[in-house]
Amino acid sequence: MDMNPVFHQRVDLNALLDEYPASDAFEHGVFRWPADRLRALQERRFRHIVEIGWANPFYRHRWSEAGLQQGDIGGLDDLDKLPLFTSDDIKDDQQAHPPFGEIHNLSRADLAGDAYKVQASGGTTGKPRFTVFGPRDWALQGISSARVLHIQGGRPGDVMQIPATCSLANLGWAYYNACHNFLGILPLTTGSGVVTPTRKQLEIAFDLSTNLWMSFPEYLTHLAKTCREELGRDIRELNTKFLSTFLGPDTDGLLRAALEESWGCKAYDQYGTNEVGGGAFECQAQSGLHLMEDMAIFEFVDVETGVPVRDGGTGNMVVTILARELPPVIRYNLRDLGRLVSSAPCACGGTFRRMDHFLGRSDDMVKIRGVNIYPMGCLSAVKSDKRTTGEWLCIAERHERGGALRDELTVQVEVLSGVGRPDDLRAHLEGRLQSDLGIKVVVELVDEGALAAAANLGREGKAKRLIDRRSQK
């Protein structure tokens, strides 16, 4: 097979940018379109993606099994006739049809036919799940992240430090791709704290005048503390323009407030996944995360029934990606909890609808005494008292009591050094958690730093908030 392997000749970037503009052209173009004009664009893109779905064995089998025939899906009004699938279905598909599964419809030998990039996720337990990017999909991932950074105020000449390792995980690559290929922002791909220790990260930042950061809140907090304790400097001396971060269910804004106070700049929240790239993002108005609606259709469905919830209800996010073709992503239940907060035009001028902060993974949901508990739901309670470090870990256990089994949830909360174990703090946290979670929990106060290993704090990747010690299957 003869093929020109040069990436930039495999994708017509100018044509792609006309279809999916990146910076200014995005902000003043489709991002401000009225709802009906946007809907017409989504309709056109949706019909194209459904055609691709019918030609794909993964979807064709599923849709046929659901009793659908080609032609049954005429447009977006028929969207909810299409069956949902989850990451478990992709894992099963890739196990049955290694390595990429029928969803990619791509064999190992086909890799000679284009310039591909493979990323993986979910490798912490069991086999990783692969996602293949063709040149167009790889460019789109950069464009979606570039849009986010542009709206938040990133401009040519800025220097963005990206303390995430460019591994098979996507995050570091997506920001690198956005900064370098679409924004004229200098990306400093320093890798995680394992690759470049925190003190060194800070020295590089001061040497090269880093003014933008992409990282998780736990690591940003760690950077500010290390700067003070090891360099004897205030992190605010960096004059950071903004932080691009992932606030999680920070519904009271306490996590954001703490970051903004220690860094002396705005902290913007966003939401993304391997498949979607930049899926939702805060603008400078910080009033909800705009959904990337010309690239994807987002739905919120009931966790148990899969039926779309009415506007404003919390549900699993379901995405249909209009932009990417490899793999096609059509009604993918991300099992991430979200909630639509506004369909009105935003103060920033954007019209893309807005959702609340990412509220947690419904995968991480535990049922305790019949109540669904999301471990991330402890965030506001834990941060509500300044004596805590803001870190916590939930432990679910099953105890025998009087011959009956009873599930208990213990929430370990770190307290600052020197605070001790005050009863009033424990009582305050237990009261607040009972009101936020809807069940009575036991709070155990632990020393500052005690949860670092178990909760994966100060390292790359997301913090872990739950250990389930009940009978493992």
Peptide bond into 327 cis (omega under 30): yes
How many helices (H) and strands (E) are present in the chain, helices listed first?
13, 19
3-state secondary structure string across 84-126? CECHHHHHHHHHHCCCCCCCCCCCCHHHHHCCCEEEEECCCCC
User: Buried (b) or exposed (e) across 415-448, using 16+ Cβ within 10 A?
Assistant: beeebeeeeebbebbbebbeebbeeebebebbee
Minimum CB separation from Zn ion for residue 347, in Å? 6
Minimum CB separation from Zn ion for residue 181, in Å? 25
* Residue appearing with tokens 């570091």: 172
Binding segment toward Zn ion, per CB under 5 A, in 184-192, 275-283, 334-342, 363-371: 275-283
CB nearer Zn ion, residue 274 or residue 351: 351
CB nearer Zn ion, residue 38 or residue 346: 346
The CB density around residue 145, as the number of other CB atoms within 10 Å, is 30
* Residue appearing with tokens 């659908």: 68
DSSP category for residue 180: I
CB nearer Zn ion, residue 257 or residue 285: 285
Alpha-carbon distance values, 74 to 39, 71, 126 (Å): 14, 6, 39
CB nearer Zn ion, residue 298 or residue 332: 298
Give the separation between CA 104 and CA 325, rounded to whole angstroms: 9
Options 283, 355, 415, 437; binder of Zn ion; rule CB under 5 A: 283
Binding segment toward Zn ion, per CB under 5 A, in 141-149, 280-288, 320-328, 395-403: 280-288
Neighbouring C-alpha atoms within 13 Å toward the C-beta of 269: 22
Minimum CB separation from Zn ion for residue 263, in Å? 22
CB nearer Zn ion, residue 324 or residue 353: 353
What would the x/- binding string for Zn ion be over residues 9 to 38, using CB under 5 A?
------------------------------
Binding segment toward Zn ion, per CB under 5 A, in 197-205, 264-272, 279-287, 398-406: 279-287
What would the x/- binding string for Zn ion be over residues 346 to 365, using CB under 5 A?
x-x-x---------------
CB nearer Zn ion, residue 195 or residue 348: 348
Cα-flanking dihedrals φ and ψ of residue 336, to 5°? -105, 135
Minimum CB separation from Zn ion for residue 135, in Å? 31
Dihedral of the CA atoms 363, 366, 370, 376 (nearest 10)?
-100
Minimum CB separation from Zn ion for residue 281, in Å? 9
CB nearer Zn ion, residue 280 or residue 323: 280
Minimum CB separation from Zn ion for residue 283, in Å? 3
CB nearer Zn ion, residue 101 or residue 350: 350
CB nearer Zn ion, residue 84 or residue 348: 348
Q: Is 280 in the site for Zn ion (CB under 5 A)?
A: no
Minimum CB separation from Zn ion for residue 246, in Å? 18
The CB density around residue 47, as the number of other CB atoms within 10 Å, is 13
Binders of Zn ion in range 388-407 (CB under 5 A): none
Alpha-carbon distance values, 21 to 31, 142, 324 (Å): 10, 11, 15
CB nearer Zn ion, residue 342 or residue 384: 342
Minimum CB separation from Zn ion for residue 220, in Å? 23
Binding segment toward Zn ion, per CB under 5 A, in 189-197, 307-315, 344-352, 422-430: 344-352
Alpha-carbon distance values, 359 to 239, 288, 341, 405, 465 (Å): 30, 12, 13, 30, 13
The CB density around residue 275, as the number of other CB atoms within 10 Å, is 24
Q: Is 285 in the site for Zn ion (CB under 5 A)?
A: yes
CB nearer Zn ion, residue 27 or residue 336: 27
Minimum CB separation from Zn ion for residue 104, in Å? 35
H/E stretch holding 434: helix 423-437
Size of the site for Zn ion (CB under 5 A): 5
Minimum CB separation from Zn ion for residue 250, in Å? 18
Q: Is 341 in the site for Zn ion (CB under 5 A)?
A: no
Alpha-carbon distance values, 373 to 302, 401, 430, 463 (Å): 15, 22, 15, 17
Minimum CB separation from Zn ion for residue 415, in Å? 37
Minimum CB separation from Zn ion for residue 346, in Å? 3
Binding segment toward Zn ion, per CB under 5 A, in 93-101, 219-227, 272-280, 283-291: 283-291
Bridge-based pairing of strands 159-161 and 186-188 is parallel
- Tokens linked to 451: 């949860």
Q: Is 288 in the site for Zn ion (CB under 5 A)?
A: no
CB nearer Zn ion, residue 15 or residue 347: 347
Cα-flanking dihedrals φ and ψ of residue 144, to 5°? -65, -40
The CB density around residue 173, as the number of other CB atoms within 10 Å, is 23
* List of residues contacting Zn ion (CB under 5 A): 283, 285, 346, 348, 350
